[in-house]
Amino acid sequence: MSLIGAQIEERLLPGAVGVDFVIIVVAYIYLRSGATQAGLYTLLQGLFLDIYSGGFEGLFVFLYLFVLGVINVSSRIIHLDNPRGQILVVGMAWLSKELLFILILMVLGQGFVLDNFRPWHFAGAIVGTSLSAPIVFYLLDKLRLFIIRAGHREGLFEES
């Protein structure tokens, strides 16, 4: 999901600010299905990114599991049920992930330099990701309801 989104963004809007949909989906899964399912999703998503990125092995698994930890801790203080809480929790998770990513690259990456660092891209990415969270939550809720209703009509789900 993350790799495909980055490819589409780069082709449509070169140099544009990226929205990290993986963090939003992790927060959504955490809210609707719990920490175990969110942990499984983050593990698989991180594994796919590690396989296809060609970087340090285990880096993205670690980063996204760290994101899940930030979401877990911050959602105990801030309600993830309302849009304001979704914006804050996703923003904190995104910021934590990016800062940890830069720190890891500075420690492990020999010769890592922040030549192309532009603060407005960084600020635009956190604002874009955070403000997208309530919209994506709404759309995923609608999709979830549609699937549940379709399953009941087809007799796939039993009445409880």
More confident residue, 67 or 149: 67
41 pLDDT above the threshold of 90: yes
Model pLDDT for residues 137-153, shown as the tens digit of each residue: 999 999 999 988 887 66
Distance CA 28, CA 148 (A): 17
Cβ-contact 131, 87 below 8 angstroms: yes
Distance CA 99, CA 137 (A): 25
Three-state SS string over 19-57 comes to CCHHHHHHHHHHHHHCHHHHHHHHHHHHHHHHHHHCCCC
The full set of domain ranges for the chain reads 2-153
By mean pLDDT, which of 18-22, 57-61, 75-79, 147-151 is the weakest?
Answer: 147-151
2-153: which CATH number, 1.10.3470, 1.10.1760, 3.90.400, 1.10.10?
Answer: 1.10.1760
- Please give the average per-residue pLDDT across 47-75, as a whole number: 90
More confident residue, 67 or 12: 67
- Please give the average per-residue pLDDT across 67-76, as a whole number: 95
Exposure b/e, 57-94, CB count within 10 A at least 16 = b: eebbbebbbbbbebbeebbeebebeeeebbbbbbbbbb
